[in-house]
A and B are shown apart, each in its own frame.
Chain A
């Protein structure tokens, strides 16, 4: 096998050459290859190149430099003007602080890389993590928030030259490239969102970088297996890894690259002259570059996450008990007796992903039995404590006697420590999962019946093969209701508001031993009669933690459905974004505060949205003409439409449609990655329609577009750089009532 592998690689260069040669022959670009050379010769032949010629020749260097300089200026200017915690800085600043204090936290919104970078910026700024980042509060003296914001703005600014190179790589003419770059540079919403301690500038950076790498990789398609081809393949993989590690929204741009790869492979698959070994090599290269590599980057971000967060913190409860026991400063597992006996006071943790602690409180079910609620809850409080008691048939618990240990197949009762009631289930449908039985707390030490009896079925034990004992942290067990024969389960279904959105606990009739939501383990354990031990010496493996955290994030994210009872002033709906129907106030609108308003450049938004429609018409038009036998498009033209036009449109759909379908709270900034693809489409369209027009028409239209973009950008500049004083003086920008940058 090794031999053939090597042979394939060794012969790879030859094959690559052969392919290239054939392709060259197929699409008559001999002229293309020689043209630059010829031009170059012509140019060198001219003795004294004029100043304009020099500029023209060095445009590839000057233009991005100038655009970058402008980007840094617009993103950095007066960045520290507002000394208060603005909008979601409250979130991400706080997470940054957690990294600096190395406290374990849990956040549903985003994967760790972006917040790690925020933490890094805090570290570089010499911040110690002590500030609470409460919304609207003034930053303390010692916290160099300006630097932290600059760090974020850097990512936003770098998007501008990358947009330049992307447009260039997509074969747009120079003025169109400039237009695209200008539209990204002079985008008020991009500017504003990049100037604060938020993840959006990094997300934008990741999206733009992935698109750039993809475009670069695409233009290397005829140089398969050359170093540069590999470079851009792996760069694409790296940026995919980066962007998905920032926010899972990165998966959408990943899907775009995935679609491209499938199309590319399908095309190669159809080329019967391509040797099968080379086809396999193409396939493997993409699997490595676009799947394995990004996944490694994603894993790495979690590895760093776990490596940094070694102290106990607010997010402990989301993780497995064993994981918690290994955090510094945790109560879990410390000095707990190893084995559980009757009379032990314990907390019981669900072992499913994102599982909480078995909990009860005095509030009752509003329907069903109307007995006391039993839920699963992630926060640690005294209502999570339960006592192990013998069942009603056997000898009563005697505090004086020798401790009796509990093991597999023992039938026990669980008594809620705060209310003294028994864990109970009966033939009443559970409140949300109607197919299951309701679980409640009922009776007391004396009042009760057989329906308080639960049988322990040990599933696994990380510490020992001996099943005659239930051990703290390491034993996983199920609780089977003796009378109904059902299993205690907490399946990540949230109760309505009357249950405080805690997790519903039910008794399920399905006997599925591998359903981890029916698995429980002892987390905290106190029993004065037993000697303290150290059950936390077993480590939970990294992959298990990684999976656990990821599934916990996914499942909690689903709970973010909009609450009809809750009115959210800031939220907006998907249809409002492309038409720039609303903006967003990022802070309080008091006269004494520097105010920022999240709103885009109207031309960019309206223009690009219209562009998407125009593109649809364009495609239908050419398709119909093609079916009617018009041969007006060359193969290069079709390629140009597909790669510079269609792919950005697909990118736009991929970044936009999920928010249409998703039933969660959405905000204006969710549209920003999609907007970038709409801008690319717009650039393509302008280029497409103007490329064969007279120079005069071209110049005048480009001039008008450029001037309008810049003009509007400057017109709306105050909303990005901060509005000081009374908001009434900014009334001139309020074109519509829904643009609430001014109360007037």
Chain B
């Protein structure tokens, strides 16, 4: 009998080489349908009373949840100091409460929750969480309220894990194993007791799995009210996930892969239960696209709208944004100090990136540089970081029109006259001192500048993202100075020139116009007296920008800065270290009491979960290889569970883990938490697989239906009790209790490092340095 199931699969695979892996899933999942049918046949013989009551599940769930709250909240007020990244997220909450604009690489949802918490308890955000170790007591911060938010979410995560297993139809021991691996994991506990985003992230991720499973179970009643409810909730959970941190994208990949497989099955013309017509399939497709892509995206945008609506005042994040954006914030320096520049004004030009002034002095470029190239021997033009009259340049119109009071506008051609030496800025086709590819900047006398060098002294003011004819303003007008004949942009860099230029910065003409390092701004107009009417600060209105434009700008800036986070951190780790728990992160230490918080998982639970992942992969490989050779070692229902349900958890683990390998930014152990949760699910599922066997009676019924000998009965889902009816669960229970006890022991042993209490003696610290964990106070 066994061989008959294998052979058709084999032939399917052989026919289509490209999508072989998909075919396997396909083949199996059509088995599932038959499986359901077969189940209901068997179940009829089981007493109906057992199916209805699941009181034992509820009791265990109650205890697990209670324990979760206990472990998360116990001693939550300790330490009463700023710990690790609370520096960031506490600060951001304060900024929200103060409504000052800030910039961060994470999306706003998680931070908004903290701000909401602060608002609930009436906190005003006066404390800015400047340093790790700052006292909360002295600064009167309601930090327990802040911390209880992640603690609540962290505790509920345990319940959600339990529910995922329950909903997926696993036995009670399996549910208990999965939940306890998260419940007693020191990393989950440690990360969710502090003002950090990961509690929100992990909770949202777990919810998205749960909701999708609920949704999938309703597949036989498509488009029903419940079906829609769970679809939308899945989308919402996904949206919360990605709106907390961008790694939430991985959950989209997990759910997305499952949806693609599901759609593929729906498309199947030989689908059990009848083929769908194409319009029906289109409806399925559209509903999922709407619920899982469009809706989450709208939610995601909504949080940004809230973000912008709250942050209306100028703040530390201004510098990350363009001047147009900054003008939308009140109390902004840009708004206050921008002055329109007229021709014949004297200005100082400052480089945006290196903050150096455009400078010139009577010294000349040396004839020959060290590498043998020659210069024009013209007057030096350099970058100088301090205020100096040699930084003064007068803006002259290209047409020499002597009329005063004319505004300089975008894209106009100007000449710049160096006041002190009375010369005109010029660039020409001579290599600069350091860059053979870039043009030299120098100055020419007035007569030359009016004579044969006239063209070379013309520069175009190109305001960054400016409109044609826009007025050129000081401070707010970020611009590039483009040399008109040769189209090079004035540029500078930090390598100082040799002694002949007093170690000042080199100014040269960059042929690449696009880079942001070409941007300059006018800092001041020294020719205007302090009391000049043009300096008068008119009460200016705060401008508005369309939401999508603001969002798009912020988004780009966030991605760009996220990619810049490559600097090394003493406790950063590599993805390969995570499943083995080779390294933790030191969060907080206190010398007097020898207390420390060292962020680390529960090694025992962690290693159990990781080894089970390896076992799972081994089982799947072995099954594939033996199937390929025509040996069928598994009954169809075990295989279906193994590939579909456990496979889904494994997929969640893989999609939450492997993408980190291609990420260039610095990574920490807490990035593994979502993947760890998935590995706990796999563990529970696999323990059940190992310690229980399917009944022979069922298999026989299945084969009969498959062969078309018996009629097909109504479809419904089976609970674990129905599946294991009349079977001894002793093995599973023993395994569950052993795992629970071991995990509990590990949790208890590492507890002082997670809760920061009590302090440890040298010997005690040394006993906890299992894999050479770099703990403090080891001597």
Contact = CB atoms under 8 A, between A and B. Distances in A.
Given A432-B568, A638-B16, A624 B628 contact: no
Interface in B474-514: 493-495, 510-512
A266 B628 contact: yes
Given A434-B569, A646-B18, A269 B628 contact: yes
Interface in A617-640: 619, 623-624, 626-629, 635, 638
5 contacts: A269-B628, A269-B629, A435-B571, A627-B264, A638-B15
Given A269-B628, A270-B628, A569-B437, A629 B17 contact: no
A433 B569 CA distance: 8
A629 B270 contact: yes
A269 B569 CA distance: 48
Given A270-B13, A567-B510, 10 more contacts: A263-B17, A270-B14, A429-B570, A434-B568, A434-B570, A565-B493, A627-B268, A627-B269, A628-B267, A638-B17
A624 B16 contact: no
Nearest 8 CB-CB pairs, A to B?
A: A629-B269, A434-B570, A270-B628, A272-B630, A627-B267, A435-B570, A628-B269, A434-B568
Interface in A572-627: 619, 623-624, 626-627
A128 to B, nearest CB: 27
Contacts of B569: 434
A642 interface: yes
Interface string B626-644: 0011100000000000000
Give chain B's interface residue range (CB within 8 Å of chain A): 35 or more
The residue among B10, B264, B570 with the most chain A CB atoms within 10 A of its own CB is: B570
A567 B438 contact: yes
Interface in B692-716: none
Nearest to A434: B570
Contacts of A663: 664
Given A432-B568, A567-B435, A624 B14 contact: no
A567 B437 contact: yes
A22 interface: no
A638 B20 CA distance: 13
Contacts of A429: 570
B339 to A, nearest CB: 33
Contacts of B630: 272
Interface of A: 263, 266-267, 269-270, 272, 429, 432-435, 497, 510, 565, 567, 569, 619, 623-624, 626-629, 635, 638, 642, 646, 661, 663
Contacts of B772: 510
B19 interface: yes
Contact of B16 (A269, A626, A628): A626
A342 to B, nearest CB: 33
Contacts of B512: 567, 569
Nearest to B510: A567
A432 B10 CA distance: 54
Interface string B256-279: 000000001001111000010000
Contacts of A646: 18
A365 to B, nearest CB: 16
A628 to B, nearest CB: 5
A386 B18 CA distance: 62
A501 to B, nearest CB: 13
Contacts of B628: 266, 269-270
Contacts of A267: 14, 17
Interface string B570-610: 11000000000000000000000000000000000000000
B662 interface: yes
A432 B567 CA distance: 8
Interface string B13-42: 111111100000000000000000000000
Nearest to A509: B774
Contacts of A638: 15-17
Contact of B17 (A432, A626, A642): A642
Contacts of B18: 619, 642, 646
Contacts of B14: 267, 270
B61 to A, nearest CB: 40
A208 B409 CA distance: 57
B702 to A, nearest CB: 24
Contacts of A661: 662
Given A270-B10, A270-B13, A270-B629, A623 B19 contact: yes
Interface in B635-666: 662, 664
Nearest to A264: B17
B7 to A, nearest CB: 9
Nearest to A272: B630
Interface string B131-146: 0000000000000000
A433 B568 contact: yes
A357 B510 CA distance: 37
Contacts of B493: 565
A705 B662 CA distance: 41
Given A269-B628, A270-B629, A629-B269, A569 B511 contact: yes
A72 to B, nearest CB: 37
A272 B10 CA distance: 11
Nearest to B569: A434
A304 B308 CA distance: 66
Contacts of B515: 567
A367 to B, nearest CB: 12
Contacts of A567: 435, 437-438, 510-512, 515
Nearest to A432: B568
Nearest to B570: A434
A270 B628 CA distance: 5
Nearest to A630: B269
B16 to A, nearest CB: 7
Contacts of B275: 629
Contacts of B568: 432-434
A435 B574 CA distance: 14
The residue among A270, A642, A661 with the most chain B CB atoms within 10 A of its own CB is: A270
A401 B267 CA distance: 93
A626 B264 CA distance: 11
Contacts of B495: 497, 565
A379 to B, nearest CB: 18
The residue among A266, A497, A661 with the most chain B CB atoms within 10 A of its own CB is: A266
A662 to B, nearest CB: 11
A628 B264 CA distance: 10
A642 B270 CA distance: 25
A646 B16 CA distance: 13
A628 B510 CA distance: 58
B482 to A, nearest CB: 15
A263 B16 CA distance: 12
A270 B629 CA distance: 5
B408 to A, nearest CB: 27
Contacts of A626: 16
B771 to A, nearest CB: 12
A263 B625 CA distance: 13
Contacts of B264: 627
A629 B10 CA distance: 19
Nearest to A570: B437
A361 to B, nearest CB: 17
A266 B17 CA distance: 10
Nearest to A661: B662
Given A567-B438, A567-B512, A629-B269, A272 B629 contact: yes
A547 to B, nearest CB: 22
A626 B628 CA distance: 23
Contacts of B19: 623
A342 B493 CA distance: 46
A663 B14 CA distance: 39
Contacts of B494: 565
A640 to B, nearest CB: 12
